[in-house]
C-alpha cells in the first residue's frame, strides 16, 4: 500500500513543476516514469505501462482487455484486475490493480462512500463521488460510455449506469477479488453501480437473466486491448 501512495506523491511533486506532464506507472504502482504528451492527442496506456495519470484532464486511463466470455454469460463485474479472483467473470480485465485505482480516485478528489456492509447489503445502494467511465480501442469509431458497451438485463426498462466511488479499501487485499468497477452496488468493489443493488440482481435472476452482458455488436473480439478512462465528477 505504501508504494502506491508513494507513486502518487511523485505525481503531486511533478505537478508542482508543470501541469502538462503525464505519469505512467506499473500495475502494482511500484515505479513511475514521465511520458511526454502526444501532439494533438492523449498518452494512452499499454499492457507494459498500464496506467496513465493525466492531471491536465483530471482523469485516470488504464489498459485492459475484453473478456469475450461475457458476450454470452451475464456478469456482476465490469472491470477487474487480471490477478483478481473475479477476473474471469469481468467484461474488462485490467492490467492496473484496484489498490492503485483507489489511490488515483482519492488523488483526483474522490470521496469514498464506505457505506456498503458486508452482511445484508442487498438493499443498500453504494454512495461516494460519481465517476464517469468510458472505453475505447484502436479502430473504435468513438469513445463509448460504459453503458453503451453493455446490455442491461432489464432491457428497455433498464436504468442508466451510475458509478460511485464506493471505497471499501480495507477489503481489497483480504477479499482478493480484484474488483475495480462492479455493475451492482457492491461491498467489495472500489467503485460500483448505484443504479442497481443486490435485490435487483435477485429480481433479475428470477426473471431469467441476472447480470449484464457485454455488447458484442459494439465491442471488439475477446482479448482485444482497450483503454478505460475514469474521471471523478
Give the closest residue to 51 by CA, choosing from 42, 40, 39, 60: 60
92 within a domain of the structure (yes/no): yes
40 within a domain of the structure (yes/no): no
Prediction pTM value: 0.86
pLDDT in tens, 25-44: 444 443 333 333 343 478 99
Query: In the chain, how many domains are there?
Result: 1
Strand 179-182 and strand 22-25: pairing?
A: unpaired
Range of the domain at 197: 45-232
12 within a domain of the structure (yes/no): no
199 within a domain of the structure (yes/no): yes
Strand 213-214 and strand 150-151: pairing?
A: antiparallel
The CA distance from 55 to 92, in Å, is: 24
30 within a domain of the structure (yes/no): no
Average pLDDT over residues 60-69: 98
Given this model, what pLDDT does residue 173 score? 85
11 within a domain of the structure (yes/no): no
Amino acid at each position: 500500500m505504501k508504494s502506491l501512495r508513494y507513486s502518487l506523491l511523485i505525481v503531486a511533486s511533478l505537478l508542482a513543476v508543470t501541469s502538462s506532464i503525464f505519469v505512467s506507472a506499473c500495475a502494482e504502482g511500484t515505479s513511475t516514469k514521465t511520458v511526454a504528451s502526444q501532439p494533438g492527442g492523449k498518452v494512452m496506456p499499454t499492457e507494459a505501462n498500464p496506467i496513465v495519470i493525466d492531471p491536465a484532464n483530471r482523469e485516470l486511463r488504464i489498459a485492459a482487455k475484453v473478456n469475450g466470455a461475457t458476450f454470452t454469460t451475464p456478469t456482476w463485474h465490469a472491470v477487474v484486475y487480471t490477478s483478481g479472483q473475479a477476473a474471469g467473470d469481468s467484461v474488462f480485465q485490467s492490467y492496473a490493480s484496484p489498490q492503485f485505482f483507489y489511490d488515483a480516485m482519492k488523488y483526483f478528489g474522490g470521496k469514498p462512500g464506505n457505506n456498503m456492509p458486508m452482511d445484508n447489503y442487498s438493499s443498500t445502494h453504494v454512495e461516494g463521488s460519481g465517476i464517469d467511465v468510458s472505453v475505447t480501442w484502436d479502430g473504435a469509431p468513438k469513445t463509448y460510455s460504459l453503458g453503451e458497451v453493455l446490455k442491461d438485463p432489464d432491457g428497455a426498462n433498464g436504468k442508466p449506469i451510475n458509478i460511485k466511488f464506493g471505497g471499501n479499501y480495507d477489503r481489497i487485499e483480504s477479499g482478493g477479488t480484484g474488483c475495480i468497477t462492479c455493475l451492482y452496488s457492491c461491498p467489495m468493489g472500489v467503485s460500483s453501480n448505484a443504479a442497481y443493488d443486490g435485490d435487483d440482481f435477485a429480481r433479475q435472476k428470477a426473471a431469467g437473466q441476472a447480470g449484464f452482458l457485454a455488447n458484442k455488436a459494439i465491442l471488439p473480439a475477446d482479448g482485444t486491448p482497450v483503454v478505460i478512462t475514469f474521471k471523478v465528477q
